[in-house]
A and B are shown apart, each in its own frame.
Chain A
Amino acid sequence: MELLVATAVGVLTSAGVYLLLRARTFPVVLGLTLLSYATNVYLFAMGRLVVNAPPIIDARAVSHTDPLPQALVLTAIVISFGMTAVIVVMALRSWFASGDDHVDALPRADAKEGR
């Protein structure tokens, strides 16, 4: 299971970083989403991977799993979900306002103003 989780985090991160380095907003947003998935899985694994154990200390349970990373992941999921919505809206507004979806520069405006 460790191998599976580690591979998933690695693949998600590398795909996310690759997409983040694209020049247009849509792949960048996708890249950020993948990175946040990778972070969530990774955070989850930081409490150590335990199977079939409750996240509470209970006399009847033989072992327990760390509940804190689960709470962290929950918070992180909510925040990254909201952030994705924010950046999609801003990217759309920017696209409507400027007519292109480049992240890094304003090639046409720059050419016009001779900067």
Chain B
Amino acid sequence: MNHWIAMPILLPVLVAALLVLVARRDLVIARVLSVASCVALVGLALALFVSATEDGTHMYALGDWPAPFGIVLVLDRLAALMLLLTSVLALLVLVYALDGSDREGPHFHALWQFQLMGINGAFLTGDFFNLFVFFEVLLIASYGLLVHGGGRERLKAGVQYVVVNLLGSTLFLLAVGLIYGVTGTLNMADLAARVPEVAADDRALLHTGALLLLLVFALKAALVPVHFWLPGAYAKAPAVVAALFAIMTKVGAYAIIRLYTLAFGADAGASAWIAAPWLLPAAMLTLLVGMTGVLGARALGQLAAFSVLGSMGTLLMAVGLFTEQALGAGLYYLVHSTLVAAALFLIAEQLGRRRGRSGDRLEAAPPVAQGSLLGGLYFAAAIGACGMPPLSGFIGKLLILDSARESVSAVWIWGLILGTSLLAIIGFARAGSLLFWKSTAPAYAGGATAKLDPRASGTEPAALLPLAVIGVLLAGLVMLTVFAGPVSEWLDVTAAQVHDPGLYVDAVLGASGANE
């Protein structure tokens, strides 16, 4: 086995420790270290991506303890995809943050690295309790990042976010305890092997534990009815943090995909597909609530947060169908929605900076510097978020609709996805026309728009970097559209691999020897 599997966890944690010790006062060193770490992570993720594509599922036994007893890391195509997406997003958003967002409070870069450690760990781990620990790591870092820069509203939202997530952690422990009490294992592969053999008397307990766990993952993924924390927290968070958090809800979705196909999937006997009857209706409601929120949002940040909620609904609908085809479509949409959400939050921040006191609120204000450029970026992101052609959101939704054809709830899925797309189009069009077209007549019109508001001098060369980052994120959507064929072929193979839990179990338990 290769030791590189542990590196996406080790590298950020070592860099974070170094940042706290060495670079707490020196911003330049901190920036260099942090960006270097993120670049290295992208390289690592690419290497692991290639290795997972070519050689199938890898297992890495931490401390060389054999599989069901020690903690293992497992790298399969799904985990490799999530790692790659995380590292690319983190690098891009970090580059954006160099424009000044990282100066607003202390320890931004260290928290950023800890956050990456937690996210990467959650994607790689093959053990429940370890998953809990990595969830805590990423949450602790996210508490710090959420209140980065301070401010009354942000702190208030931060306290709510912490309380909700602490409650989630408590439920996680209860669920893990229940599952351990019934099956006697915490290893996911071992659990998959033991679930079919659980005695009939204990099955109710096992299901309680499993569904409690679904509730916890739903909380992370912001699924109705445990979605209330998301719009407030994401809208109040600093834009760079909200953009990184676009991957955090996907951690919940990833955990749902992982657990309920592996341990409670087709091979689980009487426990097969226990998540399906709960997940699909909840996801439908989430989509409806999210896109209705888009329609009623008062600020662009809030609108972006609600569109994240809507996209989670669409994604988990695809997951909730629990078929290979739907999962492949869902994964395509996952990549797309992560990029588009990050771009939206960053656009909202750029706009908020240029509009003085109006911020990113949806109200008429004097025209902004680089208005047409920002408007163009917003237009592209909105097309992506609504799922209109020609960008990848359209292809993602099309794939999901196509995969839902056979389902008994196909009518509901088609109706909801198409209906909410209309809501989203109206919401985004209304916001865009308010922000970019309905300007109050400037008192000294005619001159260069950049001179309207001294605080909003957006034409400085320094402002090119953030716009470039948004451009790259949107270019990612274009690439995803152009290469939709190869990408969705790769994702279909991934979905097939996820739906064949035997591969995962064999990789972990079969190789119960040591790391070579």
Interface set of A (CB-CB < 8 Å, partner B): 20, 25, 28, 32, 35-36, 39, 42-43, 46-47, 68-69, 72, 75-76, 79-80, 82-83, 86-87, 90-91, 93-94, 97-98, 103-104, 106, 109
Complex: how many Å from CA A9 to CA B150?
Answer: 37
A42 to B177, CA, bound (A): 8
State in angstroms the CA–CA spacing of A35 and B156 once bound together: 22
9 inter-chain pairs at a CB distance below 8 angstroms, sorted by A residue, are: A28-B163, A39-B173, A72-B177, A83-B136, A90-B147, A91-B159, A93-B150, A97-B150, A109-B153
* Residue B464, interface by CB 8 Å: no
Across-interface contacts of A106 in B (CB, < 8 A): 152-153, 156
Q: Max chain B CB contacts within 10 Å: which of A47, A79, A93? A: A79
Residues from chain B with a CB closer than 8 A to the CB of A43 are 173, 177
B169 to chain A, nearest CB (A): 7
Q: Which of B112-141 contact A (CB under 8 A)?
A: 129, 133, 136, 140
Residues in A with CB closer than 8 Å to B151 are 97
Question: In whole Å, how far is B241's beta carbon from the nearest beta carbon of chain A?
Answer: 15
The answer to whether B155 has its CB under 8 Å from any CB of chain A is yes
- CB closest residue in chain A, given B139: A83
Given A75-B133, A87-B159, A90-B158, verify A42-B174 contact (CB < 8 Å): yes
- Complex Cα distance, B175 from A43, in Å, reads 10
- B166 contacts partner chain A, Cβ-Cβ < 8 Å: yes
What's the Cα separation between A35 and B163 when bound, in Å?
Answer: 12
Given known contacts A46-B181, A98-B152, A103 and B160 CB-to-CB distance under 8 angstroms: yes
What is the CA–CA distance of A82 and B173 in the complex, to the nearest angstrom? 16
Cα A77 to Cα B153 in complex, Å, equals 31
B186 lies within 8 A of chain A by Cβ: yes
Question: Are A32 and B180 interface neighbours, CB within 8 A?
Answer: no
CB atoms of A25 and B150 under 8 A apart: no
Nearest A residue (CB) for B298: A115
Could you say which residues of chain A place their CB within 8 Å of the CB of B140? 82-83, 86
Question: Beyond the given A82-B140, A90-B159, could you list 12 further A-B residue pairs with CB under 8 A, ordered by the A residue number?
Answer: A20-B167, A25-B159, A28-B163, A35-B167, A47-B181, A86-B143, A90-B155, A93-B150, A98-B152, A98-B156, A109-B152, A109-B153
What chain B residues lie within 8 Å of A80 (beta carbons)?
166, 169
How many angstroms from the CA of A97 to the CA of B150 in the assembled complex? 9
Q: B169–A83 contact, CB under 8 A?
A: yes
- With A76-B173, A79-B136: A93-B167 Cβ-Cβ less than 8 Å: no
- Residues in A with CB closer than 8 Å to B147 are 90, 93
The reply to whether A46 and B167 contact each other, CB–CB distance below 8 Å, is no
Shortest beta-carbon contacts, A-B, top 4: A46-B181, A94-B155, A46-B177, A97-B152
Nearest residue (CB) in A for B135 is A79
Contact B160 A39 (CB under 8 A): no
Provide the residues of chain A in CB contact with B173, threshold 8 Å: 39, 43, 72, 76
Contact A39 B174 (CB under 8 A): yes
Q: Of all chain B residues, which has the CB nearest A16?
A: B170
Q: Are B166 and A83 in contact (CB under 8 A)?
A: yes
- Say whether B158 contacts A94, CB under 8 Å: yes
Report how far A47 CA is from B184 CA in the complex, Å: 8
> Complex: how many Å from CA A76 to CA B128?
13
Contact B133 A79 (CB under 8 A): yes
CA distance A54 to B252 in the complex (A): 38
